[in-house]
């Protein structure tokens, strides 16, 4: 594939812009025989194997992926929307190539796989793979999602049993029952709970605790499937998902 086409596919601008970056000497490619050796390329039509190609554009290192799969540590006070109403968008935390990756549809760039509330923190997936987004968002997948919950009031055994048995979310037009499939008290304090769900309804954790007479004061998603939020990934930071990470996302066992 021509180098200008590779840059275009990765979101570095229009084909004309990408060709200009190359011709002006702003693009270096890591050579195959020396991972640390960079070679400046000025021929925009030069052919490369796209998959796995590592290059640098105006000082920014990049690796070529046919599809983008990204993990973001969502901070509090951000919205999972391209057009936020009150708080900054999570998309402002991503580099422009991820936001500008071309797609066949009218929407550009990676999209969030589901949403977290503006005050909820933790693991958020983004991708430009529509099939992956649909699969991970589908209620039929039943992928376990683990949330660290801080409640306003200590939960007693009766409230915990109600959450496990299922509570009716009667604020829906058609009341539905939602249940936690696992509740762990990691700190021995009933204010802090680790709650696992296999479905995703609007404001589900908050509505479930409200249904048993309590309130969520803090909410953090720490795991999806077998994929855990890395300890060394600070709020607002992102990283690529690798093949082994994608395999962990398919895990349904708790």
210-240 per-position pLDDT tens digit: 989 999 999 999 999 899 999 999 999 999 9
117 contacts: CB under 8 Å, gap ≥ 6: 203, 206, 219
Q: What is the CATH number of the domain that holds 78?
A: 3.30.70.580
Of these residues, 43, 61, 117, 156, which one is catalytic?
117
Residues 15 and 120 in one domain: no
* pLDDT above 60 (res 253): no
The whole domain housing 133 covers 69-140+232-249
- CATH code of residue 29: 3.10.290.10
Residues recorded for the chain: 254
CA–CA dist 87, 95 (Å, integer): 19
Please measure the distance between the N-terminal and C-terminal CA atoms of the chain and give it in whole angstroms: 43
DSSP structural state of residue 89 = B
Question: Which of the two residues, 202 and 217, has the higher pLDDT score?
Answer: 217
Reported as a single tens digit per residue, the pLDDT across 103-129 is 877 778 999 998 999 999 999 999 999
Regarding whether 74 and 21 lie in a shared domain, the answer is no
User: How far are the Cα atoms of 70, 94, 124, 132 from residue 110, in angstroms, in the given order?
Assistant: 8, 10, 12, 12
Q: Is residue 254 part of a domain?
A: no
Q: Tell me, yes or no, if 170 is annotated catalytic.
A: no
Give the integer Cα–Cα distance in Å for 43 and 27: 10
Span 89-113, mean pLDDT?
A: 91
Q: Rounded distance, CA 124 to CA 51, Å?
A: 25
Cβ neighbourhood burial of 199 (10 Å; 0-12, 13-18, 19+): middle
* Residue that is last in its domain, among 63, 81, 100: 63
Residue 6, pLDDT score? 97
Per-residue pLDDT band for 66 (boundaries 50, 70, 90) equals very high
């Amino acid at each position: 594939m021509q180098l200008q086409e590779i840059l275009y596919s990765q979101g570095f601008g229009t084909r004309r812009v990408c060709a200009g970056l190359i011709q002006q000497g702003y693009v270096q490619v890591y050579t195959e025989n020396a991972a640390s050796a960079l070679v400046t390329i000025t021929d925009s039509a030069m052919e490369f194997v796209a998959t796995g190609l590592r290059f640098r554009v105006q000082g920014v290192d990049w690796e070529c992926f046919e599809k983008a799969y990204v993990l973001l540590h969502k901070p509090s006070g951000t919205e999972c929307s391209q057009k936020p109403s009150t708080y900054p968008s999570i998309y402002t935390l991503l580099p422009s190539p991820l936001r500008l990756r071309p797609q066949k549809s009218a929407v550009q760039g990676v999209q969030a796989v589901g949403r977290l509330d503006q005050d909820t923190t933790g693991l958020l997936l983004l991708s430009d793979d529509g099939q992956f987004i649909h699969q991970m968002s589908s209620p039929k997948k039943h992928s376990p999602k683990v949330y660290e919950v801080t409640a306003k009031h200590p939960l007693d055994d009766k409230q915990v049993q109600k959450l496990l048995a299922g509570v009716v979310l009667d604020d829906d037009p058609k009341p539905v029952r939602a249940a936690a499939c696992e509740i762990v008290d990691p700190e021995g304090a009933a204010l802090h709970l680790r709650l696992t769900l296999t479905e995703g309804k609007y404001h589900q954790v908050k509505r479930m605790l409200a249904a048993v007479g309590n309130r969520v004061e803090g909410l953090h998603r720490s795991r999806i499937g077998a994929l855990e939020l890395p300890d060394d990934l600070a709020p607002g930071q992102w990283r690529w998902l690798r093949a082994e990470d994608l395999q962990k996302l398919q895990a349904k066992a708790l």
